[in-house]
Amino acid sequence: MVNAYFDHLRRVGPRPRSIPQSMAPAYLAGAFAPGRCEVRAYNEQHSGPLADPALLAWPDMLVLTGLTNAFDRMLHLTAYARSLNPRVVVVAGGPAVRALPRHAGRFFDYACTGDVEELTGVAADALGPSYAAEELFPRFDLAEWMGPYGYIESSRNCNFHCSFCSLTADGYGYKAYSLEFIRRQILSIGRRRFVIFIDNNFYGNDRDFFRARMALLRELHDDGRIDGWGALVTNDLFGDDENLALAKEAGCLALFSGIESFDAAVLRGFGKLQNAAVPHVEMIRRCFEAGIVFAYGVILDFTTRTLAELRSEMDFIVGNPEIPLPNYFSSVIPLLQTPYFHQCLRRGLLLPSTKLRDMDTTTLAVRPLDPVGEVTAFLRDLPALRRWRRRVPGRTLAFLRRYKRHLSWLQVGISLSGPAMLCTPSLSSGVPWRRAARRRTHLTTTEPLDSLYTPAFRVDGRYEPYFRPTMITDASGALNEALAEDLVATEPWPDHGVWAATPKGW
């Protein structure tokens, strides 16, 4: 099981300190009958690019997963494995395959668009029924990259439909695991004391289920099974103070929410109305005062906002010690098949020669309101927060003075680690990002390919095309015909805002 990964800052190397880590390989590994199959799991996000010929030659079946922009990396790994073992069966799934199912079908033996359980059917079909697990349970024992954390899902998908989110494109409904399954997962993470729920939306749409999970976590916390936990949530959780009290009593240390913007009009444009419901600064203050660290991300849309507007929002954030710095500022990605993607396509906003690999938050793939050169210069300076850096120590001290008495030392560390990574991205990897940054243009049309597009060892000539980048548009900016079958909108996606007013009721 391999999580294929391209680093957004183009660092080539391991990133063991990156949080959170992908758990897909561990969940996928659970699809195979434990006594019958030898399963190995590898996470490129944690361990760096997989290029060990012995390991790549080893499996009868290679199972690939990854973010949408990791599609090409899945092709590289397929080329390596097939060159070393022509009989290997290659199975791929995840967001990229869901977005390009027909195209993916040309490269992989099985291109899966379903959930991890689909792999049990594939195992039975390709290897024989006795090789498939009777019940899929994640193999945390194989996920050595978890470090001190137990990464666990208590639900899948999301009950909201933000216009830029790949879950909106997937269209799978929000699903909760049973309490018993969640308990079993927590009890099987071994000696790890901290649980990070990697659900897209831990709060969900069922208050009783939320309360039941709080009761479970409280019990496990009181029994000393876990020291604390954190989760990814949506802003509606903060609409009721009782939720924060329940979470705190249950051992919650930190919550992450994709705030995206402090501007309600921007959120309406993204169809993220659930985030506009509670005033942000007040919400963050209440969270810290309840003794829980609040972490968040901000996304920057160059197609609807000028650089001046974006800078003024960043000025507001950096200048306000009532709120922490975000864990990331990143440009919005036209993730394939999302309403935002189709809107960009329809309005001719996708740049010429847009590469799927470049849909990574640090490369401009859409026509901005400002001149392209100014936006790419902005993106170049963004990772180290150059314009704002000097103000960071002073505002951080003021922030800590305000909230220290509500937090433990561990929580102070958590609330400082995100901003530290934000200003010094090399901390998250031994590989300095500035070296990789020197070659960059931050513009997909001219951005050089990563060194990973050069095979690490000789591959069979048939697989050389697997090292060519998947193009979304051609040199004139038109949709790549090879992808048209997948990417021509099957839904008449309305524009931003209109979309927000007419959710589809999944």
- In the complex, which residues of this chain contact ligand B12 (CB under 6 A)? 3, 5-6, 8, 18, 20-24, 27-28, 45, 63, 65-69, 91, 93-95, 112, 114-116, 118-119, 153, 156, 165-167, 198-200, 297, 328, 330, 333, 335, 360-361
Cα dist from 317 to 267, 307, 361, 421, whole Å: 16, 15, 20, 17
The H or E element spanning position 228 is: strand 228-233
Residue 198 · residue 20 · CB < 8 Å: yes
**Contact between 258 and ligand SF4 per CB under 6 A:** yes
168 is a contact residue toward ligand SF4 (CB under 6 A): yes
| Closest distance of CB 298 from ligand SF4, Å | 13
- Pick the closer one to ligand SF4 by CB: 267 or 350: 267
Number of residues that bind ligand SF4 (CB under 6 A): 12
Q: Which two tokens stand for residue 500?
A: 């927000």
SS3 269: helix
Q: At what angle do helices 280-289 and 392-403 cross, to 10 degrees?
A: 60
Q: CB of 447: closest distance to ligand B12 in angstroms?
A: 13
Least distance (Å) between residue 207 CB and ligand SF4: 17
The amino acid at residue 330 is S
Q: Which residue lies nearer to ligand SF4 by CB, 258 or 383?
A: 258
Residue corresponding to tokens 């899902």: 153
CB of 2 to ligand B12, least distance (A): 10
Residues 410, 244, 173: CA angle, nearest 5 degrees = 105
Q: Which does 161 bind (CB under 5 to 8 A by kind): ligand B12, ligand SF4, none?
A: ligand SF4
- Two structure tokens written together for 190: 């071994």
Min separation Cβ 423 and ligand SF4, Å: 25
Question: How far, CA to CA in Å, does 327 sit from each of 20, 74, 274, 385, 461?
Answer: 12, 28, 20, 12, 43
- Say if residues 441 and 447 touch (Cβ distance below 8 Å): yes
Shortest Å distance, C-beta 67 to ligand B12: 3
Chain positions 220 to 239 lying near ligand SF4, rule: CB under 6 A, are 234
d(CA 150, CA 153): 10
For ligand B12, which is the closer residue by CB, 403 or 429?
429
20 preceded by a cis bond (ω within 30 of 0): yes
Among 4, 31, 158, 318, binds ligand SF4 (CB under 6 A): 158
Placement of tokens 């099987």 in the chain: 188
User: Does residue number 161 form part of the binding site for ligand SF4 (CB under 6 A)?
Assistant: yes
> What residues numbered 278-307 form the site for ligand SF4, per CB under 6 A?
none
Q: Is there binding between residue 103 and ligand SF4 (CB under 6 A)?
A: no
State which amino acid sits at residue 393: P
Residue 331: which of ligand SF4, ligand B12, none does it interact with, CB under 5 to 8 A by kind?
none
Query: Which H or E run contains 231?
Result: strand 228-233
What are the beta bridge partners of residue 355?
471
Q: Which does 20 bind (CB under 5 to 8 A by kind): ligand SF4, ligand B12, none?
A: ligand B12
C-beta of 161: minimal distance to ligand SF4 in Å? 6
Footprint of ligand SF4 on this chain (CB under 6 A)? 158, 160-162, 165, 167-168, 200-201, 234, 258, 272
